[in-house]
Structure 1
Amino acid sequence: MAQALDYRTLEAAATWYVQLNAAQPSDAQLQAWQDWLGKSQAHAQAWARVEKLQRQFGSLPADVALPTLAGVRARRRAVVKTLAMLLAVGATGWSVHESTPALALMAELRTAKGQRRQVRLSDGSQLELNSDSAVDIHFDGQQRQLRLYRGEIMVQTASDPAARPFEVQTAEGRVRALGTRFSVRSDDGQSRVSVLQHAVEIRPVDNPLLMLRLEAGQSVSFDQRQIGSTHSAAPGTGAWTQGMLTVIEWRLADFVSELRRYRPGMLRCAEGIADLRLSGAFRIDDTDTILENLSASLPVKVRYLTRYWVSIEAV
């Protein structure tokens, strides 16, 4: 029978999350965590609540997800308290302003990790959302605008009798379609645009006089002030719309980072195997099989601490 959990137990579960997530855990740390987990039903219940939050958020909210925080060591105690409070109130009681960005949570169109979505817009344009994405639609008599708060979209624009411009706005700037098919991805303070047909115009939000015309077959990243160097779009660009991830000579660490976009929970790659290379086409709807294939094709082993806590390590 489930029992009430006191704050001290929840704080202990939060502390274990911090310790296991701040660096590659040693075998001794993992054994100590497992010993703590097995000591009481309350410990198991508290850890189950951590896993529930991982499932609900895809990963824990950005404000408490330690790998993304600067100065983790200095803020560790504060983060433990914040996470323990989150565990205490549960996901439904947590203010959207204190977790993932409020606008993303309230966006008109959203996808969870591992989910994709296709939408036909009112003007006939086709919109596809990749995993863990959030978009608002703003169409009026003067413009057609999509606001991408996070994640990635693919757009196939339709001609408009009213000749309204079609734009995608991100935190970093604006992408104006010139009758085209293109993708936009926004994360970690950068937007990346790849054009499959025709062209787009890009303007950073804090440098609107800077403009780049990006042609079919090209890709570029930009932040709020600058636009990077244009290069050829990577092979397999847009393959996610068909449920595929195509890579050629990727570092294992980069591949795992990309795979995290499609798999709820924690997925880690040990530093010692980060530079291993792999190529192939992988079905992103079945990340368990992808992990099995990794251990079969590379000198690595996949350790499941729980269903939502996976570590890729050297053999």
Structure 2
Amino acid sequence: MNPMPAQQPTPDADREALEWFSMLRQPGCDELQRQAFATWQQQDPANARAYAELEAYWQQLTPPPARPRPRQLQTRRSYLGKTLAALFLLILAALAYLYWPLMQRLASELHTASGERRSVRLADGSTMHLDSASAMNADLRGRTRQLQLVQGQVSLEVVLDGRALEVQVGQARIQVYGTRLMIARSGQHDELVVLNGKAMIIQGGDQRLLSAGERVTFTEQRIDPVQKIDVQRVEAWRSGHLQVKDQPLASVLGRLAGYQGQRVWLMDEQTAYRRVSGDFNLDRAQASLDQLAAEQQLQLYSLFGQWLIAR
């Protein structure tokens, strides 16, 4: 971690404190993990300070125990208690909504942070390239190698070793017969792109067979028709570029904001459907957002570091 001013925890300390806060409250937390937590606190004063601030914030969210009141105030007390309970549940729901994707990633075997790209060599020799804020699970021990895409986007370079390979994406199964493919998850739909070889996607009673240079999008309800793709544009993210052609503005904003760990809220629903083309630098996501906002005559506002409001 990089040193920071004495009174201000680093972003890494804040993030790690949140991870420890969640882990220590899980039923399976054991003494070994608690010892590791104590060691982490002692490594850097910023770590202990970040965790103490998180604990203090949590205590503020917890409603105080009820105190005895005169009988004539029972009705008022009951109303106030229900209001506080509803507010507390609302705050918990908001925190869960904001931090659930992070918790989901941290619980996965392989994951990346927002803005991070990483390549991993698997035990069977295959290579997995993870995009920003992505998460995968892998089980390569059986006769059929099993992968699961939990979040984000991944590019696979598969080594054929005589065993079948399947990738689980939500309710869909992808059977891999080739050596290079990309799979992505987003709020609107999931996507499969075959770069070399073949792959079949199966969901319920529906299925599609894709060859090299083809893509398909799918949801829990349907598999869309197969389309041809520009391989160079599709793979551009691996070199830090987002190349889009005639894409919805909301999708492009969401991708760029996601590299900064933010979610987009467009004030004008019609604006979301504007079509956008261009080449944007993912490693300079804020500059790319500013460039896009200027081109589209938008104003961007950051809210609590979690939301990006566009109007």
Range class of TM-score, shorter chain: 0.5 to 0.7
Q: What is the distance in 1 between the residues matched to 2:310 and 2:188?
A: 27
Partner of 2:265: 268
- 3-state SS of paired residue (2:115): coil
Report deviation, 1:152: 1.4
**One-letter code of the match for 2:279?**
A
Q: What is the distance in 2 between the residues matched to 1:301 and 1:131?
A: 25
Matched-pair contact (CA < 8 Å) for 1:250–1:277: yes
Whether 1:258 aligns to 2:269 is: no
Partner of 2:235: 238
What RMSD in Å do the two structures reach over aligned CA positions?
3.4
Whether 1:213 aligns to 2:214 is: no
- 3-state SS of paired residue (2:299): strand
Partner of 2:11: none
Q: TM-score, normalised by structure 1?
A: 0.63
Partner of 1:82: 89
Matched-pair contact (CA < 8 Å) for 1:221–1:227: yes
**One-letter code of the match for 1:131?**
S
Counting aligned pairs with the same residue, the percent is 28
Q: What is the distance in 2 between the residues matched to 1:101 and 1:305?
A: 18
For structure 2, the 5+ residue unaligned runs are 1-6, 8-52, 59-83
- 3-state SS of paired residue (2:185): strand
Partner of 2:169: 170
Q: What is the distance in 2 between the residues matched to 1:247 and 1:80?
A: 42
Matched-pair contact (CA < 8 Å) for 2:242–2:279: yes
Q: TM-score, normalised by structure 2?
A: 0.64
Partner of 1:226: 222
Whose Rg is larger? 2
Partner of 1:139: 140
Q: What is the distance in 1 between the residues matched to 2:103 and 2:300?
A: 35
- 3-state SS of paired residue (1:227): coil
Q: Which structure has greater helix proportion?
A: 2
Report deviation, 1:101: 9.1
Deviation digits for residues 81-106 of structure 1 (CA, Å, limit 9, x no counterpart): 3353479xxx8xx8xxx945976542
Q: What is the distance in 1 between the residues matched to 2:157 and 2:185?
A: 18
Q: Which has the higher contact order (CA 8 A, sep 6+)?
A: 1
Report deviation, 1:127: 0.4
**One-letter code of the match for 1:191?**
D
Report deviation, 1:231: 1.0
Q: What is the distance in 1 between the residues matched to 2:276 and 2:191?
A: 23
Deviation digits for residues 222-263 of structure 1 (CA, Å, limit 9, x no counterpart): 334632211112561122111111111223223213323322
Deviation digits for residues 90-147 of structure 1 (CA, Å, limit 9, x no counterpart): x8xx8xxx94597654211011222221101112111011122211110114122211
Q: What is the distance in 1 between the residues matched to 2:274 and 2:187?
A: 24
Report deviation, 1:290: 0.8
Q: Aligned in 2, Cα 1:135/1:78: closer, same or farther, shift over 3 Å?
A: farther
May I ask how many residue pairs the two structures share in their alignment? Answer: 231
**One-letter code of the match for 2:207?**
M
Report deviation, 1:182: 0.6
Report deviation, 1:291: 1.9
